[in-house]
Amino acid sequence: MTKILLIGANGQVGRELQQTLLPLGEVIAVARDQLDLANPEAAYALVVETAPNVIVNAAAYTAVDKAESEPDLAMAVNGTTPEMMAKAASSIGAGLIHISTDYVFDGTQGVAYQETGSTNPKGVYGRTKLAGEEAIQAALPMHMIIRTAWVYGALGKANFVKTMLRLGADRSELRVVGDQIGSPTWAKDLALAIAQMIPKFTPETAGLYHYTNSGVASWYDFAVAIFEEAEALGFPLKIEQVVPITTAEYPTPAQRPAFSVLSLKKTASLLGHCPPHWRASLRKMLVELQTGEG
């Protein structure tokens, strides 16, 4: 039986992984209160002690703006701790699946980024996530690094969809950035894909992958779709108008990539199918949120 160590079990993706990984074998789910992610030695010891066949690291420091003022903590969680997980995995002959981000790219190109594309992160979060990628690649050939983007879900912490629903219930007008382009990703789809990738995880398939939902959108497009779908489902909304604004009109401590669409060709080839379109997945997530079935 495959033994899987899931780290970051209470995050958006981690909660979904707790369900999608179950059919594969024994799942040891470790949440943030059980492992100090800023303590690389503790992560190493956990891997060696549990001796899994596969580690799935769904944990990260994801506060993009706060990372600008906490670079050391962000590097510990996103860079050094994954490196120690990889070294521990190497010592026991395990594989590591690690979730990374579109923020490793600078967002200046106008076509989808390939896994082999040049990285150039613009902020602390992206730099620390890239450091984690590079450390894993150096320490452990048996890895799958899966870059994703714009993740939301019915479970776990606040996200863009939940924030829009909350604000849209209270306000008649919202201003949303319209010049950043990416691909919304439902946490459940990502978790399902990871579960499908594990049986295909071999030395030949190890490496870098991209996974988002199919299709592209701006944050403005995404917000409009959220309200259209939510209204159709009967969510209580006061919103009447969504106004597109520029990134310059909504300054943040961290610079976001203006274009972070990821190529899905390699992942689709491995899985045998393309990821679902983002709007179809958004609709399913809203139904889950409404019915409490998430």
pTM recorded for the entire structure: 0.97
| H or E element that contains 270 | helix 265-271
Does residue 172 fall inside a structural domain? no
Does residue 250 fall inside a structural domain? no
Question: Angle at the Cα of 57 (from 215 to 117), degrees rounded to 5?
Answer: 45
Question: What is the average per-residue pLDDT within 67-78?
Answer: 98
C-alpha separations of 62 from 32, 71, 101, 236 in Å: 13, 12, 10, 30
125 is catalytic: yes
Give the count of domains, the chain: 1
pLDDT value at residue 158: 87
Does residue 267 fall inside a structural domain? yes
Query: Nearest Cα to 145, choosing from 108, 181, 189, 96?
Result: 96
DSSP string, 123-182: SHHHHHHHHHHHHHHHH-SSEEEEEE-SEE-SSSS--HHHHHHHHHHH-SEEEEE-S-EE
Does residue 57 fall inside a structural domain? yes
**What confidence tens digit (pLDDT) does each residue in 75-124 have?**
999 999 999 999 999 999 999 999 999 999 999 999 999 999 999 999 99
At 280, is the pLDDT very low, low, confident or very high (cuts 50, 70, 90)? very high
Contact status, residue 121 vs residue 104, Cβ threshold 8 Å: yes
Q: Which two tokens stand for residue 200?
A: 């295909």
Catalytic, out of 125, 152, 209, 220: 125
CA 78 to CA 7: how far, in whole Å?
A: 13
Main-chain dihedrals φ then ψ at residue 64, nearest 5 degrees: -55, -45
Q: Which two tokens stand for residue 40?
A: 């690389």
Does residue 35 fall inside a structural domain? yes
Q: Domain range spanning residue 135?
A: 2-158+182-216+260-277
CATH of the domain at 40: 3.40.50.720
Does residue 92 fall inside a structural domain? yes
